[in-house]
Structure formats: structure tokens, C-alpha cells
Amino acid sequence: MKKKWLIGNWKMHGNLASNKALIEGIRAELPEPDPRAELVVCPAFPYLYQLKDLTAGTGIYVGAQNASDHLQGAYTGETSPLMIKELGGSFTIIGHSERRQYQGENDGLMGRKSLAAIDAGLIPVICVGETAEERDSGRTHEVLARQLDAAFGYIRTAHDKIILAYEPRWAIGTGIAATPEIVQAEHEFLRQRIAIRDKEFAARLPIIYGGSVKAANAISLFSMPDVDGGLIGSAALNATEFVAIYRELLQTIPADEAA
């Protein structure tokens, strides 16, 4: 059975007290995640170790929001994926659109970062997505193909070690999610493009959607055949809403699929 994924991106929010309250809130509503759908939370770097403690034995995984493309060295201010791993992280988001927008990250860097993350034993959650202007000018597939090829050119294939996230920039933090039809069409495009390199890998690769997902729209998005879960921003900061989204995700798993 192919697993589903729900990943919370806490962005630059939180502190020791609110992080603890958020995990306790999630656990109060969901004592144990269902093995058919993995739950991951991605706090800001300084809180990774706190989250390692808070999530020990809970079935909730921890990830970072970024990682260096180097494992070690004279790179002031950077964080090695090895350090993330040592502090309890199992995942790292790579190439989030806010890093492209505010830190000038480009496709090549995304590819190198993904490779370093895999080398360190992390699962990269590689983000791709077009801007509103790129969509309006009919360049969505050109942009997605370029971003995808840059990332996968470095990685080639790494079975079960990568998650791909389709995050159209115009849907992130805007409250306007992409329609289920758009999401399905772009996920299908991404999967087909990867299948050119490796069919089996493409079929197994989890492709998740991110951009203004809430409990109210989750089921329509997650029911699409090529959607394997979600990357959640603002709604991941509210335990009740995050767990409600998780429960919607579970509903999309056919009842005859054993855990």
C-alpha cells in the first residue's frame, strides 16, 4: 500500500511554550497517528531538539524547513542536514517558494540541497510550483518541468527517499487553494515527467499538494488520484484544524486497504 502524508510547515512561528502546547493539542485529539498516513511537523531550526523530545514515542515525525547543500564546512549561518538528523529530524523541506522569493534560491541549489539531504539520511520534501504570472501566461508546465529536472538531474532516482510537493505560489498563504482539477492535472504532469526517467519510481513517488489547505477543502483535494497528501502551512499551527485535515486524509484511503 502506498502511504499518505500530512506535513505541517510551522514556518518562522512558535516558541518553547507554544510548540509544546501544539504537540499536546495534536496528541489530545489524535492519541496515535494511523499507520496508513504519516504525520510530520517542521518547526524552525532552534526547536528541532525540543520537538525530538516532545514527539518521542508518539508516531509523529519531525522535519526541518531547509537544509544546507553541504554536509559540513565554512558556511556561516548554514545548517547541515547531518545536524538536522542528529537533532531528531527525518525530513527537510527543500526549495519552498518563500525561500525562492526572499532568499533568492534557485533550481540548481534545490537540486544540490536535495542530494545533500539524501546523503545525510533525510527525506527531502522537494517543492515545485509556478507563480500566478507564470500560470496566467501559460508557462506552468515549462516552469514545473524546469524545477523538476533541476532537482532530479542531481538525484537521479532514490526509491522511497523523496517526497515531491506541488505548491503553486499563488495558493500559498493566500486562502485561495488550487482547484482539485488543477491539482490533479499538475500532479499527473509531474508524475508523467518523472516516469520518463523511471516508471516504477514515478508510480511510487508520493506527490503532495500545498497551498491554503484547510479541513473544509481537504477531502476534495486529497481525493484526487495523484494526490498523496498535503503540505500544510497556517492550518498546521492549530491542533484542531491540523488533526481535522488529517482525518479528512484518512477518509480518502479505501476501506479495503489494510494498514
Mind telling me the catalytic residues? 96, 167
Q: Does 25 engage in binding with ligand PEP (CB under 6 A)? A: no
Half-sphere exposure of 250 (CA within 13 A, CB side): 16
Q: Which residue matches cell numbers 511510487?
A: 204
Which string of x and - marks every residue 149-168 that binds ligand PEP (by CB under 6 A)?
------------------x-
Q: What gap in Å lies between CA 49 and CA 253, rounded to an integer?
A: 32
* Least distance in angstroms from the C-beta of 207 to ligand PEP: 14
Interface with ligand PEP by CB under 6 A: which range of 55-63, 129-137, 226-234, 238-246? Answer: 226-234
Does 66 bind ligand PEP (CB under 6 A)? Our answer is no
Contact positions with ligand PEP (CB under 6 A) in 165-204? 167, 172-173
Q: Nearest residue by C-beta to ligand PEP?
A: 233
| Among the listed residues 190, 200, 188, the one whose alpha carbon sits nearest the alpha carbon of residue 224 | 188
Q: CA 157 to CA 2: how far, in whole Å? A: 18
Examine residue 43 and tell whether it contacts ligand PEP (CB under 6 A).
no
The dihedral formed by the CA atoms of 244, 249, 252 and 258, expressed in degrees to the nearest 10: -110
Q: Is 94 in the site for ligand PEP (CB under 6 A)?
A: no
Could you tell me whether strands 37-42 and 91-94 are parallel, antiparallel, or unpaired per DSSP bridges? unpaired
Binding site for ligand PEP (CB under 6 A): 9, 167, 172-173, 210-213, 231-235
